[in-house]
Amino acid sequence: MKISRICCIGAGYVGGPTMSVIAQQCPHITVTVVDVNEKRIAAWNDPDLSRLPVYEPGLDEVVA
């Protein structure tokens, strides 16, 4: 079985950074992250990376 899509429920301190790294390291996999907090999802999608909802050193480089 070949995995081509992943969905993560929760874009917080664990889900967001983890899925960011998976998306970076596995470009052949479509990564979708969902969260009940619409503002958090909007922050992840904001082109201004200083507004990421989670701070992790180097995360802005992974998301870019």
Taking only the tens place, the pLDDT of each residue in 28-40 is 999 999 999 999 9
Give the start-end residues of each E strand in 1-64. 5-9, 30-34
Structural domain boundaries of the chain? 5-63
Q: Write down the pTM of the prediction.
A: 0.87
Look up residue 2 and give its two tokens.
């070949």
Q: Which amino acid is at 2?
A: K
At 24 the pLDDT is: 97
Q: How far is CA 37 from CA 13, 14, 18, in A?
A: 13, 15, 18
